Amino acid sequence: MEKLKPDFSINEFGKFRFYSGILIGIGFSIILNSLFRLTLRLCNLGMYIDQWNIDYEIPTYYNILIGFSSIGFAFCFTTYLWMSTPFVANRKKTLKLRMAQINPIWIFFGVLLFLLRMFWFLASIELTIEKDFPFLGFMIPTFIYLYCWNLISHIYKSKKSFLISSLLFITGGIILSVF
């Protein structure tokens, strides 16, 4: 009997691609964490322009949100690398792998463009994520993370890996919020 979906494992991807995807994801999460914090400080420079100081103290809510967002965005790159098998024996699986490879990058840049547009819209309005949308702010990184795992689960059996990586997603977001 033929297996419909192979198991999600290191041997399925290859050790080099699996571990390099994890290392690149960790690197991108640290870089995006620093970039998002710097962007938030620069955005609030206009409120404190009389002091000409970039030492804006980021509230705890935004630190946690930035930590989870950077992990979610970095997982897009990890998914991209894991699904980067150009050809497999089955034509249908090749198509699924190509879709699972390009869609996380599409979502990454689409969400960043949406956030940039929303920033320009909200720049002159006294709306904040912390006060006006406290729980909805966490929907974007959660959506990105679950979307990437949805793409992976279309190709591989990945229930156990999903649960383990969900714990790592939560602990990584908390660690980056302190970092």
The CA radius of gyration of the chain, in Å to the nearest whole number, is 19
Can you tell me whether residue 157 is helix, strand or coil?
strand
Partnered with residue 157 across adjacent β-strands are 7
Report the alpha-carbon distance of residue 2 to residue 92 in Å, rounded.
15
Residues 65, 138: contact at Cβ < 8 Å? yes
Q: Per residue of the chain (179 residues), what is the pLDDT tens digit? A: 556 777 777 887 788 888 888 899 999 999 988 888 887 777 666 555 555 555 667 778 888 888 888 898 898 888 888 888 766 677 777 777 777 777 888 888 888 777 776 666 655 555 566 676 777 778 888 888 888 888 888 887 878 888 888 888 888 888 888 87
Residues 33, 67: contact at Cβ < 8 Å? yes
pTM, two decimal places = 0.77
